[in-house]
């Protein structure tokens, strides 16, 4: 990271044309704007590792209609008793295909697929399929996972996950963006220009972001991805992170940075920020002030995990939609020039 923490933060840059016209990406990520989305499941389950998934379709439709920027899916194949959270339990790609039929506007994404545990060609096929089913609203987030115990179950070496991640990431981009591609990989297969992935993306490509650090340095993430979502426990580090992130870029292309956090919206609208090991607890007025400050810093997106929520999710979502969302609306998709 930069040794001069007092130096000005570089400008955000411009959104590439193909992403400015992407129905999902442009809603979630815009230069100098902060949006927020919800990590599935849409319910609080603070005292259990398992959600109920009650009314999950109804709540997803409400989020879509209310104008939230995105719904994010996690990739949790197993219950690990030492971890204490199973996410939405349902396979993320299967669930995305299901929600595609019930939503019309909201972006749908992953935070993120545990890439070293999966075949990149299958992930690419799933990604372009979901992209088609959502009519271009899909954002592919890829991680290296945070549960080492899963690696032996899949017969995958945990020690080389960073190397496998880079190779798989490149394969996904290659087969989904190039026609009849050629490549030869160390950990996966090879293609010799005689096969083409189907279906093709709705637009020129599926936006692909890094979730977490994925055992990569910031320079690699900035060069190879369309954006970055991380988990941050200390908001005081955000200026340093944004500065380092933008310094790693080319100075012209906007590549968004966002973070994910466990989130509990308190019934007291004036409750100040309370941070703990399990994320943030806050009232709506302090939340608006906090996000205005973070928007000015260059934070592009906040993904809210409702697990610690101690009130009905529908009630919290209605409050966010009425009071907070007007300050941080989803972005607008650029129309192609005629």
Picking from 231, 239, 327, the residue whose alpha carbon sits closest to that of residue 7 is 239
State the Cα–Cα distance between residues 40 and 22, nearest whole angstrom.
22
State the Cα–Cα distance between residues 28 and 301, nearest whole angstrom.
7
pLDDT digits (tens, 9 = 90+) for 221-239: 999 999 999 988 789 999 9
- Domains contained in the chain, CATH given: 17-118+130-147+206-327 (3.20.20.30)
pLDDT digits (tens, 9 = 90+) for 85-106: 999 999 999 999 999 999 999 9
State the Cα–Cα distance between residues 83 and 48, nearest whole angstrom.
11
Q: What size, in residues, is the chain?
A: 338
Helix, strand or coil for residue 99? helix
Token pair 């940075």 in the structure block, residue: 257
* Residue 277 in tokens: 């090991």
pLDDT digits (tens, 9 = 90+) for 284-308: 999 999 999 999 999 999 999 999 9
Helices (H) and strands (E) in the chain — how many of each? 11, 13
Phi-psi region of 13 (alpha: psi -120 to 50; beta: other; left: phi over 0): left
Phi, psi of 14 (to 5 degrees): -110, 145
Question: H/E/C letters for each residue in 102-136?
Answer: CCCCCEEEECCEEHHHCCHHHHHHHHHHHHHHCCC
Please list, in sequence order, all residues whose beta carbon lies within 8 angstroms of the beta carbon of residue 220, skipping any fewer than 6 positions away: 166
CA dihedral 240, 238, 92, 113 (to 10 degrees): 10
Residue 278's CB is within 10 A of a number of other CB atoms, namely: 14
State the Cα–Cα distance between residues 326 and 291, nearest whole angstrom.
12
Peptide bond before 320: cis, by omega within 30 degrees of 0?
Answer: no
pLDDT of residue 335: 67
- In which band, very low, low, confident or very high, does the pLDDT at 131 lie, cut at 50, 70 and 90? very high
pLDDT digits (tens, 9 = 90+) for 197-211: 999 999 989 999 999
pLDDT digits (tens, 9 = 90+) for 10-33: 888 999 999 999 999 999 999 999
Peptide bond before 112: cis, by omega within 30 degrees of 0?
Answer: yes
State the Cα–Cα distance between residues 115 and 95, nearest whole angstrom.
18
Please tell me the pTM assigned to this model: 0.95
Mean pLDDT value across the chain: 95
Helix (H) or strand (E) holding 304: strand 301-305
Q: Pinpoint the alpha helices (H) of 134-197.
A: 150-154, 161-177
Answer whether 44's CB lies under 8 Å from 313's CB.
yes
* Residue 163 in tokens: 């190397």
* Residue 164 in tokens: 């496998």
Helix axes 120-133, 161-177, angle to 10 degrees: 50
């Amino acid at each position: 990271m930069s040794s001069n923490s007092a130096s000005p933060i570089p400008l955000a840059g411009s959104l590439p044309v193909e992403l400015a016209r992407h129905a999902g990406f442009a809603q979630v990520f815009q230069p100098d704007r902060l949006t927020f989305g919800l990590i599935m499941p849409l319910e609080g389950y603070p005292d259990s590792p398992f959600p109920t998934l009650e009314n999950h379709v109804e709540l997803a439709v409400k989020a879509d209609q209310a104008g939230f920027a995105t719904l994010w899916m996690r990739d949790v194949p197993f219950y690990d008793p030492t971890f204490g959270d199973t996410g939405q339990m349902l396979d993320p790609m299967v669930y995305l295909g299901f929600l595609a039929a019930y939503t019309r506007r909201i972006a749908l994404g992953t935070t993120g697929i545990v890439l070293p545990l999966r075949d990149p060609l299958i992930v690419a096929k799933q990604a372009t399929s979901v992209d088609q089913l959502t009519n271009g609203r899909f954002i592919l987030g890829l991680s290296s996972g945070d549960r080492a115990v899963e690696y032996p179950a899949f017969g995958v070496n945990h020690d080389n996950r960073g190397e496998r991640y880079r190779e798989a990431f490149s394969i996904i981009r290659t087969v989904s963006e190039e026609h009849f591609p050629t490549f030869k990989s160390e950990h996966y297969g090879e293609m010799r220009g005689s096969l083409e992935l189907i279906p093709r993306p709705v637009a020129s490509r599926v936006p692909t972001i890094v979730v977490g650090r994925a055992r990569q340095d910031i320079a690699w993430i900035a060069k190879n991805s369309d954006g970055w979502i991380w988990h941050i426990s200390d908001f005081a580090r955000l200026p340093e992170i944004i500065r380092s992130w933008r310094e790693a870029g080319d100075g012209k292309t906007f590549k968004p940075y966002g973070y994910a956090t466990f989130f509990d919206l308190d019934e007291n609208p004036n409750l100040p920020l309370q941070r703990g090991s399990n994320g943030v607890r806050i009232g709506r007025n302090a939340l608006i002030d906090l996000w205005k400050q973070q928007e000015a810093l260059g934070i592009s997106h906040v993904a809210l995990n409702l697990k610690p929520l101690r009130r009905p999710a529908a009630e919290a979502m209605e409050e966010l939609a009425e009071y907070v969302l007007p300050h941080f609306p989803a972005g607008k998709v650029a129309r192609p020039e005629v």
